[in-house]
């Protein structure tokens, strides 16, 4: 005898969350600055929010922010390409902490690429979800 139970994934409170996916998001500032030694590029990651991690922890967003106030706790690594061509992502800077309890820096200063280049930032959260931001500078 085979016993089976039907689950309505759209309405089931226990298993229903697996079919709804909200992508992770990030607030990133990429700016070119003139310095006496030449142009510099500053990449600031201001905030990262991963709904997948919030769902895994069974928390609402406001409670998540209260328990994990530093966004860097949910980020596995940050990769930057200063000459992104739209097809190939060539990593010119990677921030991958050595130990799990270490955080990424979140602020990066690099030599500025030629004017008109696209700078791409890839942020990977602890569950492997990627956030991709590209800006022409």
User: What's 106's domain CATH number?
Assistant: 2.60.40.10
pLDDT at residue 66, as a whole number: 62
Q: What is the pTM of this model?
A: 0.79
Confirm whether 12 is domain-assigned.
no
pLDDT at residue 75, as a whole number: 95
Residue-by-residue DSSP string for 64-81: HHHH---GGGGEEEEEEE
pLDDT at residue 53, as a whole number: 80
pLDDT at residue 22, as a whole number: 80
Confirm whether 62 is domain-assigned.
yes
Tens of each residue's pLDDT in the chain, 137 residues: 888 887 776 677 766 655 566 889 999 999 998 888 788 999 999 999 988 787 777 666 666 566 777 899 999 999 999 999 999 999 999 999 999 889 999 999 999 999 999 999 999 999 899 999 999 99
Confirm whether 111 is domain-assigned.
yes
Residue 35 tokens read as 């310095």
Three-class SS of residue 12? coil
If one counts the domains in the chain, the total is 1
Three-class SS of residue 19? helix
Whole domain around residue 46: which residue ranges? 22-136
Confirm whether 8 is domain-assigned.
no
Confirm whether 52 is domain-assigned.
yes
């Amino acid at each position: 005898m085979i016993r089976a139970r039907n689950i309505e994934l759209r309405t089931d409170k226990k298993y229903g969350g697996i079919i709804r996916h909200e992508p992770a998001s990030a607030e990133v500032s990429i700016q070119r600055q003139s310095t006496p030694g030449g142009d510099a590029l500053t990449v600031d990651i201001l905030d990262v929010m991963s709904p997948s991690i919030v769902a895994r922890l069974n928390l609402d967003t406001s409670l998540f922010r209260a328990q994990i106030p530093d966004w860097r706790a949910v980020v596995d690594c940050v990769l930057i390409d200063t000459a992104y061509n739209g097809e190939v992502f060539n990593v010119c800077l990677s921030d991958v902490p050595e130990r799990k309890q270490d955080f990424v820096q979140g602020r990066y200063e690099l030599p500025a690429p030629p004017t008109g280049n696209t700078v791409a930032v890839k942020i990977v959260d602890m569950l492997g979800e990627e956030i991709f931001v590209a800006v022409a500078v």
